[in-house]
Amino acid sequence: MTPTASSLDRLARAAFAVLVCAIALVSVALAVVQAAEVARPRGEAVVARAEVSTPRAADLVTARKTVTRESAPVAITNLDASYERMTALNSIIAGTAMTVEVNVTNTGLLSWPAGGEQAVHLSYHWFDAQGNTVMWDGARAVLQHDVAPGDMATLVVDLRAPATHGSYVLAWDMVKEGSGWFSASAAPMKTERLVVDQGVTTDDLRAVARQAAVSAGLDPVIFDRQIEAESGFDPQAQSPAGAVGIAQITPATARTWGVDPSDPVASLQAAAQQMAGYVDRYGNYAMALAAYNAGPRAVERFGGVPPYAETQNYVRKILSGAP
């Protein structure tokens, strides 16, 4: 049977009604969901937000390490060292040690720890004129505190010379204990050419004396004059009273100081430390020099420079610079 026009019209109206009902049902469902969201307790919302947590501290550390490994090594461990000394260190005596102050700046991105299993220290290497390694892993210089990026630290280095004279290259290098040398991560070492002398010259010993004075906090000019008055910078000097060596130390005093008076470098360093102690104790160089010459008991007995001709001339000559 062929549908009539009226039948088609009724079918169309029924389909439209069904569509309208479906739309109405969807609207009702959305309204119910929205009402449920509004009615949900606040505590549930807080819990939902807490599920998206901020990174933990451990995650941040891991992330930093990952970035560090992927960064250029020079940006992490680059070493910037400058040297401030009262006298130029152009030479050093073979087989001896010298105290050197080195300023080191942390130009990296991470702090240098002063302690712990991976503490950062300053050390050095010696190379000969042909570039061969003569000494690797010199004496360590310890940081007094952690050094943050951009900060500078002054380190006191016990620099020990090779045993054989010749021309050498001294290379300063930072080391992270248990991890490796900074130079191994492409951080350039700071190098300088030095002559290691076979013999001891007066100029060498004057340089050692001035450096010992600076390290002890003394006036290097006064200490230089003092050693000149004591021995004329002669390591073999002996006095009628039994004092020996460049700093004229008696055997009893040498035992007290724990120093070998025949070693000119050790004697100069010990004498500078002793003089620094006297200056701190008495507050001026005149009494400190008198204590070195006549002994601290004589200074304390007379309340100043003792009335001994030898001691008074000794103090006057050194402080006035008289020959």
**Residues annotated as part of the active site:** 230
Report which residue type is found at 91.
S
Distances (CA, A) of 85 to 97, 102, 208, 221, 298: 16, 8, 11, 14, 35
Judge contact between 123 and 173, C-beta under 8 A.
yes
**What is the DSSP-derived secondary structure letter of residue 304?**
S
**What is the DSSP-derived secondary structure letter of residue 55?**
P
Judge contact between 174 and 186, C-beta under 8 A.
no
Question: Which segments within the chain are labelled E, that is strand?
Answer: 79-83, 91-93, 97-106, 120-128, 133-135, 141-142, 152-160, 166-176, 180-181, 190-197
For 94, the token pair is 């073979």
